[in-house]
Amino acid sequence: MTTAILVSILMTLVAASTPILLAALGELVTEKAGVLNLGVEGMMLCGAVAGFAVAFSTGSTMLGLVAAMAAGVATAMVFAVLTLSLTANQVATGLALTIFGIGASSLIGAGFVGRTITRLGPVFPAALSEHPLLRAVFGHDIVVYLSLALVLGVSLFLRRTRPGLILRAVGENDASAHAIGYPVIAIRYAAIAFGGALAGLGGAYFSLALTPMWADRLTAGRGWIALALVVFAAWKPGRLLLGAYLFGAVMTLELQAKAAGITWLAPEFLAMTPYLATIAVLTMMSLGRRSGRLNAPACLGKPFSAS
Amino acid sequence: MLEWRRRREPSTLMLWLSPLIAIGLTMLLGMIVFTAMGYDGFHAVESIFVTPFVEPQRWPDLGVKAAPLVMIALGLAIGFRANVWNIGAEGQYVMGAIAGTGVALATHGMTGWWILPAMAFAGVLGGMAWAAVPAFLRVRLQVSEILTSLMLTYVAVQGLNYLVRGPWKDPDGFNFPQTRMFGADQTLPAIMPGSLVHIGIPAALLIALVAWLLMEKTTAGYAVKVVGLAPAAARHGGFSADRVTWATLLAGGGLAGLAGLFEAAGPFGQLTPQFPTGYGFTAIIVAFLGRLNPLGIVFGGVVLAATYVGGEIAQTTVRLPQAATGMFQALLLFVLLATDVLVKYRIGWKVRAA
């Protein structure tokens, strides 16, 4: 009985962590290439609404996930064109992307409020996850496994492969990378697109898996938490996984406390915890090393022009 | 072949022309997008960008919406100039309203000329306190003010929800989550009888003028600009970036707090869960549309106010959903950032090297 409860808490934790993990992993790659895209929340919302709209009209959750990634890439490309080709300020453009995502998702989603779809189900047959312990391993949906595979993939890509090395070089010293002959702008376009795809997928996880329905602004600031997570992880994929699951734990605690009917603490204070935790984490990171922006790619946020 | 050519000097003409180009392009894009979505795109754009300006009965509403936007944007723009990215103005706005409402509830049933100034003072302090957290963390620990100020917005909104559902709930309010209505001396006097036009509108204009003088005519304003443009030169010149960070964040928080108090004591007359209206985020667009210049921001505030007023008109004229307003605002910011390229570059014919 207790095992079953623990496993169910673990399942909630993993589910709550997955969208943040995906969005943060995409942003990590973008930032490793030297680009600060503050539009994560906006890309997530666009992915969430596109995923829901397509899943609702086609009845296929899988198509919804694909559409969400496409929507994430499309919005990320707007950011890329503005910041890379038109050398617009990255902070301002990222904010614009988030404001756009909130507006566009709200407009497109207006017709879907209250509609429901079939929730994204587990990958493996139910027989495999009858026992609670097996369920902890085999009971997840495809996006959870994909997110874990992506963490491993990105980690290996950045550390062990030549393209990964080039991407990091572009983020550390764009002028030198350009001088050696690497296409700085093209690489940054690719990194931003990857970030957009994962943010879109993370957003769709909200509307297709966590709450299989549409509600305005349903990502509730998780995109911003994903941005903070990249700092917490010191731009390392492994630590990102740890951090995302820690945040998942905080949010699960919030849900558990609500479910347990805790009355001495108002629900509004529980709802504050993820945001306060984010501030606390950012503060602790800086306390640890006074240098501040520890380990950040040297060219992060700086525009590049070849001429 | 056409090509972009970098200008030797940024174009001042384009600096002021590009917002106008952006507004024109946004109207065109809006027409296309909303027609594609099955609405009457032409009349939607007309309702949003033309009707609020040509119908005098809409003007008071335009002013009421523009005042908080201008006030918040002024504070943000000063920070943006110094590369201080306070994007949590919405939270500071809510905290200002909460602090001011605290005074209003404490003085419930009392009368006196001093009540409103006390509320305004509390509002400014509330917003400043909320901005002081990111300022402290940025100056002392180099924590990004972007993330902390934004996170605090979510905390402030939850705080508001707690208060209006809990300790501040109107005892005679049939269990609705809202505070008591403010009394006559806790409410901003209307300066145009029979309308919502309140003292916040001239106040916003006055603050814009003061901010312009501060930014353009004083050493402090110069320090802000230098810190933003060339941090190294600023250090060399003896301008403290830390002091500029503190000053800009406190100014931004105080103005957002005052705007929040003016909304609470003006159009709302109480606090409700609907109070966070998103002005703190829209003000970011206002700041950019106004080119981070206090007088430009007055213009930007009026344009963005028109999208709210016009958005409501479009709901009745062409059944455009309310959410379209947000879409228009975001589109405007995107196009504005894109047209900014004209400031730094010119379009010319490619000439082959001889």
What is the pLDDT, as a whole number, of residue B354?
47
Q: How many residues can be counted in chain A?
A: 307
Least confident of A127-131, B210-214, B305-309: A127-131
Query: B2 by DSSP, 3-state: which?
Result: strand
Give the orientation angle of helix A2-32 with respect to helix A142-160, to 10 degrees. Answer: 40
Q: Chain A 34-53, CB below 8 Å of chain B: which residues?
A: 38
What pLDDT, in 10s, does the model give residues A246-263? 999 988 888 788 778 777
CA–CA min distance A224, chain B (Å)? 7
Amino acid occupying residue A119? R
Q: Are A268 and B329 inside 8 Å of each other by CB?
A: no
DSSP state of A86: S
The Cα-based distances of A236 to A19, A31, A301 in angstroms read: 18, 11, 18
Nearest to B326 among A95, A103, A268 (CB): A103
Using a CB-CB cut-off of 8 Å, the residues of chain B touching A221 are: 150-151, 154
Question: pLDDT-derived band of residue B238, with 50, 70 and 90 as boundaries?
Answer: confident
Check if A78 contacts B (Cβ < 8 Å).
yes
C-beta separation of A116 from A59 below 8 A:
no
Residue B113: other Cβ atoms inside 10 A: 7
Instruction: Mark out chain B residues that contact chain A at CB-CB < 8 A.
Output: 6, 85, 87, 133, 137, 141-144, 146-148, 150-152, 154-155, 158-159, 161-162, 165-166, 281, 284-285, 288, 321, 323-331, 333-334, 337-338, 340-341, 344
Q: Are B337 and A86 inside 8 Å of each other by CB?
A: yes
What's the whole-number mean pLDDT along residues B130-156? Answer: 94
C-beta separation of B324 from A107 below 8 A:
yes
Question: pLDDT-derived band of residue B114, with 50, 70 and 90 as boundaries?
Answer: very high
Using a CB-CB cut-off of 8 Å, the residues of chain B touching A266 are: 162, 165-166
C-alpha A110/C-alpha B315 separation (Å) is 13
What's the whole-number mean pLDDT along residues B287-294? Answer: 94
What is the pLDDT, as a whole number, of residue A118?
86
Q: Are B150 and A224 inside 8 Å of each other by CB?
A: yes
Nearest to B158 among A93, A110, A271 (CB): A271
What is the pLDDT, as a whole number, of residue A261?
77
C-alpha A150/C-alpha A161 separation (Å) is 15
What pLDDT, in 10s, does the model give residues B255-271? 999 999 999 999 999 99
Check if A224 contacts B (Cβ < 8 Å).
yes
Using a CB-CB cut-off of 8 Å, the residues of chain A touching B151 are: 221, 224, 228, 275-276, 278-279
Using a CB-CB cut-off of 8 Å, the residues of chain B touching A102 are: 281, 326, 330
Check if A185 contacts B (Cβ < 8 Å).
no
C-beta separation of B120 from B57 below 8 A:
no
| DSSP code per residue over B98-136 | HHHHHHHHHTTT---TTHHHHHHHHHHHHHHHHHHHHHH
Check if A271 contacts B (Cβ < 8 Å).
yes
Distance of CA B58 to the CA centre of its chain: 20
Q: Are B337 and A96 inside 8 Å of each other by CB?
A: yes
Using a CB-CB cut-off of 8 Å, the residues of chain A touching B245 are: none
Low-confidence ranges of chain A (pLDDT < 70): 1, 289-294, 306-307
What is the pLDDT, as a whole number, of residue A259?
78
Least confident of A207-216, B156-165, B276-285: A207-216
For B349, the enclosing helix (H) or strand (E) is strand B345-349
Q: Are B166 and A100 inside 8 Å of each other by CB?
A: no
Using a CB-CB cut-off of 8 Å, the residues of chain B touching A291 are: 142
Best of A100, A105, A247 to disrupt the B interface (most B CBs within 10 Å) is A100
> What average pLDDT does the structure give for chain B?
91
CA–CA min distance B114, chain A (Å)? 33
What pLDDT, in 10s, does the model give residues B64-91? 999 999 999 999 999 999 999 999 999 9
Q: Are B146 and A292 inside 8 Å of each other by CB?
A: no
Check if A3 contacts B (Cβ < 8 Å).
no
Calculate what percentage of chain B has a pLDDT beyond 90.
68
Q: Are A271 and B327 inside 8 Å of each other by CB?
A: no
Q: Are B327 and A266 inside 8 Å of each other by CB?
A: no
Residue with tokens 């344009």: B303
For B345, the enclosing helix (H) or strand (E) is strand B345-349
Q: Are B326 and A102 inside 8 Å of each other by CB?
A: yes
For B346, the enclosing helix (H) or strand (E) is strand B345-349
Nearest to B147 among A82, A102, A282 (CB): A282
SS3 content of chain B, % helix, strand, coil (to 5): 70, 5, 25
ipTM for the predicted complex comes to: 0.90
Q: How many residues can be counted in chain B?
A: 354
- B340 to chain A: closest CA residue: A88
Using a CB-CB cut-off of 8 Å, the residues of chain B touching A37 are: none
Least confident of A114-118, A126-130, B143-147, B321-325: A126-130
Q: Are B151 and A103 inside 8 Å of each other by CB?
A: no
C-beta separation of A191 from A33 below 8 A:
yes
C-alpha B245/C-alpha B79 separation (Å) is 7
Using a CB-CB cut-off of 8 Å, the residues of chain A touching B166 are: 266, 268
CA dihedral B168, B170, B175, B177 (to 10 degrees): -50
CA dihedral B92, B98, B103, B109 (to 10 degrees): 150
C-alpha A249/C-alpha A257 separation (Å) is 12
Q: Are B143 and A283 inside 8 Å of each other by CB?
A: yes
Amino acid occupying residue B319? R
What is the pLDDT, as a whole number, of residue B195?
77
Nearest to A269 among B143, B148, B162 (CB): B162
